[in-house]
A = this chain, B = another copy of it.
Amino acid sequence: MASSSEHHHQQRVLNAGVLGATGTVGQRFVVLLAQNPAFRIHALGASERSAGRAYRAAAKWKMSEAMPAAVADMEVRACDPAQFGGCDVVFSGLDASVAGDVERAFFEADFAVFSNAKNYRMDPLVPLCVPVVNTDHYALLAAQRAAKGLRRGFIVTNSNCSTSGLVVPLKALQDRFGPLRRVVVTTLQAISGAGYPGVASLDILDNIVPLISGEEPKMEAEVLKILGGLRADAAGCAPLADLRVSATCNRVPVVDGHTECVSVEFAAPAPPSIDEIKQCLREYTCEAQRLGCPSAPRQAIVVTDDEDRPQPRLDRNAGGGMAVTVGRIRPCPVFHVKFTLLVHNTVLGAAGASILNAEYAARKGYIVAV
């Protein structure tokens, strides 16, 4: 499946399309792609209402970074595969309400689709891939193409933003110390995760919203699929059956960066020491790093010994937003260990994950030239 010559694949700059380019995830795609040496933004797609307008006019820009000059005058297209000719990869920041149909149209038209939407995440033939965790799930693509009759097209999804932060240290622990048995996680999630207009200010100034609709079951299920393996024939996933996850999700008055408080119980009766856990997290590396993908963080997990870290304002940009910062690693009086992690919800938690997924796919030969 993978190319025999990875070096060959990484040379070419790929033409990228962005679906849902005017939304907040779409804007993050645009910011990240504009500074990424592996891609050139080739087409921007949005709703019929935006199609035909200059991106500058169609997008109500909400990023702290300025709109890249290269896209400001690009004409926005409708999200129709016929209008995305020449794109090597297509990134989707579409809302779930439309992502199902539109993304199918694209992969059936033989596009390589990298989606942030939830619609296909739990499909057993679709990799649900946090690129610093389970790129081995790309092995599903052969079966996916066979099942859907695709030659070049496929779809790879990234996880929910909260899931993406949680699975990185859990994967490191599982790889080193064996299966986990129970995880209790409480999140403090940033407002950017809800898009724009998203959370009303009257709901979040001097306030906490203790519910993010649908988020908890998503986290509880996605973790099992991501940390699980594949069937022996690579024709489906084998989610973990013995891990139980309990998630509680809160919205907090923070712009970017999800904080997660995690308690973990190992299956093994004799748990590792706190020092062993710190060392394990610090030493964790992934294949996307080893392949030299440009978006891969130098350090996948930044372990901090400052007892009041991680903090969203200070740590969300660690590794360009692609690293997870883990702190307050200490014994848990109820389980084995507890810690607090921080993940940039629109970078590793959304657009950045899709982009690194695509970089990985390119290097492994999954993206077939048009």
Contact = CB atoms under 8 A, between A and B. Distances in A.
A314 interface: yes
B204 A205 contact: yes
Nearest to A24: B202
Interface string A122-134: 0000000000000
A78 B203 CA distance: 27
Query: How many copies of the chain does the oligomer comprise?
Result: 4
A309 interface: yes
A256 to B, nearest CB: 8
The range of chain A's interface size is: 35 or more
A313 B252 contact: no
A65 interface: yes
Counting chain B CB atoms within 10 Å of each CB, the highest count among A65, A200, A253, A332 belongs to A200
Contacts of A191: 201-202, 205
Interface in A198-249: 198-211, 220, 244-246, 248
A177 interface: no
A229 B248 CA distance: 32
B246 A334 contact: yes
A275 to B, nearest CB: 20
Contact of A206 (B182, B200, B203, B254): B254
16 contacts: A61-B314, A66-B318, A188-B208, A191-B201, A192-B202, A200-B201, A205-B206, A206-B254, A207-B312, A208-B252, A210-B259, A210-B310, A210-B328, A246-B263, A246-B333, A248-B338
Interface of A: 24, 61-66, 182-184, 186, 188, 191-192, 196-211, 220, 244-246, 248, 250, 252-255, 259, 261, 263, 307-314, 317-318, 327-328, 332-335, 338, 340
